[in-house]
């Protein structure tokens, strides 16, 4: 069995690798949590890439029902076809729409199935999928068939902690919490996105970024993805490292605003706190 070791475009820490490999080897779902923008969603993509598997993504919304992942019966079309005298109407199978789990189960080679942001759905949603995820099969009442996984897919589930997940569901998963990357890991992440970036600029940017994240009371702490966007901006606008060392908040804010400080409240907070802080430091 191929092991997941990270990829050329994704930095995986040791603990993440262990969790992924355990989930792959024992064929249990892997639940991933972590601050927004810490790579939860791209992880599934990268695992698929590293293991040479297809990726099937199921993005969950507040209205998503577990059943939709299995299949849906399009009775309305059938009713319409019957009114119009369409011959298709005699085969109910014509009106069964496959869900993502169905697709994942039917695939010849076990794919990676991403169930993204499971916490968006109704609180019953995870429980409604327990049996299907356990047995990797389900029954289609309309056509009386059992759909069984040809090979068990690798299942990666992400959550942003909006809702608690039921214990019965949690017991069946491996769990990994993506810790916010430390400076060293962040450098490696930057390296895979922007190889060979000027080290002085990067160093100042990292310092400013981590200082900013530490501001007490920040509504929205900027995350990995925001840091990456910001770096791109700094390079594009040719902002030098000396600007980031700027001691006055008024001068420092413009290059931070937008990419790192996203709302007015946080900008105000920064104005109040950053100056005091930097003057001291």
Ligand X SMILES: Nc1ncnc2c1ncn2[C@@H]1O[C@H](COP(=O)(O)OP(=O)(O)OP(=O)(O)O)[C@@H](O)[C@H]1O
Q: Which of 21, 41, 66, 266 binds ligand X (CB under 6 A)?
A: 41
Cα–Cα separations (whole angstroms), residue 66 to 62, 130, 239 = 11, 10, 49
Q: Which of 20, 29, 38, 41 binds Mg ion (CB under 5 A)?
A: 41
Cα–Cα separations (whole angstroms), residue 104 to 85, 218, 223, 243 = 34, 41, 32, 50
191 contact partners, CB below 8 Å, separation of at least 6: 197
Binders in 190-209 for another protein, by CB under 8 A: none
Query: Which of 13, 207 has the CB closer to ligand X?
Result: 13
Closest to 207 in 3D by CA, of 262, 277, 268: 277
Q: Which stretch binds ligand X (CB under 6 A): 125-133, 148-156, 223-231, 250-258?
A: 223-231
CA–CA gap between residue 130 and residue 108 (Å, rounded)? 23
Answer yes or no whether residue 159 interacts with Mg ion by CB under 5 A: no
Answer yes or no whether residue 164 interacts with another protein by CB under 8 A: yes
Q: Which does 176 bind (CB under 5 to 8 A by kind): ligand X, Mg ion, another protein, none?
A: another protein
Answer yes or no whether residue 121 interacts with ligand X by CB under 6 A: no
CA–CA gap between residue 209 and residue 230 (Å, rounded)? 10
Contact 165, 119 (CB under 8 A): yes
Q: Which does 106 bind (CB under 5 to 8 A by kind): another protein, ligand X, Mg ion, none?
A: none
Answer yes or no whether residue 10 interacts with ligand X by CB under 6 A: yes
Taking the CB of residue 124, how many other CB atoms lie within 10 A of it? 11
In whole angstroms, the minimum distance from the beta carbon of 114 to Mg ion comes to 9
Q: List, as one string, the DSSP characters of 3-26.
A: PP--BTTB---HHHHHHHHHHHHH
In whole angstroms, the minimum distance from the beta carbon of 55 to another protein comes to 22
Answer yes or no whether residue 29 interacts with ligand X by CB under 6 A: no
User: Facing residues of 184 across strands?
Assistant: none
Q: Which two tokens stand for residue 191?
A: 């390296």
Q: Which stretch binds another protein (CB under 8 A): 108-116, 160-168, 210-218, 225-233?
A: 160-168
Query: Site residues (CB under 5 A) for Mg ion?
Result: 41
Query: Site residues (CB under 8 A) for another protein?
Result: 14-15, 18-19, 21-22, 25-26, 28, 31, 33, 62, 73, 75-76, 78-79, 82, 122-123, 162-165, 167, 170-177, 179, 265
């Amino acid at each position: 069995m191929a092991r997941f070791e990270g990829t050329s475009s994704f930095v995986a820490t040791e603990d993440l690798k262990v969790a992924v490999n355990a989930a792959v080897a024992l064929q249990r779902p892997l639940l991933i949590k972590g601050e927004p923008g810490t790579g939860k969603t791209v992880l599934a993509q990268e695992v698929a890439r590293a293991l040479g598997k297809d990726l099937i993504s199921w993005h969950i919304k507040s209205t998503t029902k577990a059943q939709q992942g299995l299949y849906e019966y399009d009775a309305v079309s059938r009713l319409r076809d019957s009114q119009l005298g369409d011959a298709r109407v005699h085969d109910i199978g014509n009106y069964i729409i496959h869900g993502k789990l169905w697709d994942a189960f039917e695939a010849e080679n076990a794919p990676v199935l991403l169930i993204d942001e499971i916490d968006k759905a109704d609180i019953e949603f995870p429980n409604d999928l327990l049996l299907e995820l356990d047995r990797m099969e389900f029954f289609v009442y309309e056509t009386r068939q059992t759909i069984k996984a040809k090979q068990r897919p690798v299942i990666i589930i992400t959550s942003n902690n909006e809702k608690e997940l039921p214990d019965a569901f949690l017991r069946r998963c491996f769990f990994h919490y993506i810790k916010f990357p430390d400076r060293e890991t962040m450098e490696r992440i930057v390296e895979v996105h922007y190889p060979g970036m000027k080290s002085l600029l990067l160093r100042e940017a990292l310092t400013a970024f981590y200082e900013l994240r530490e501001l007490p009371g920040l509504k929205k702490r900027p995350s990995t993805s925001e840091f990456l966007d910001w770096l791109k901006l700094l390079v594009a606008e040719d902002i030098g490292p000396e600007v980031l060392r700027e001691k006055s908040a008024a001068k420092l804010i413009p290059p931070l605003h937008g990419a790192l400080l996203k709302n007015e409240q946080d900008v105000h907070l920064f104005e109040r706190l950053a100056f005091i802080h930097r003057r001291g430091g």
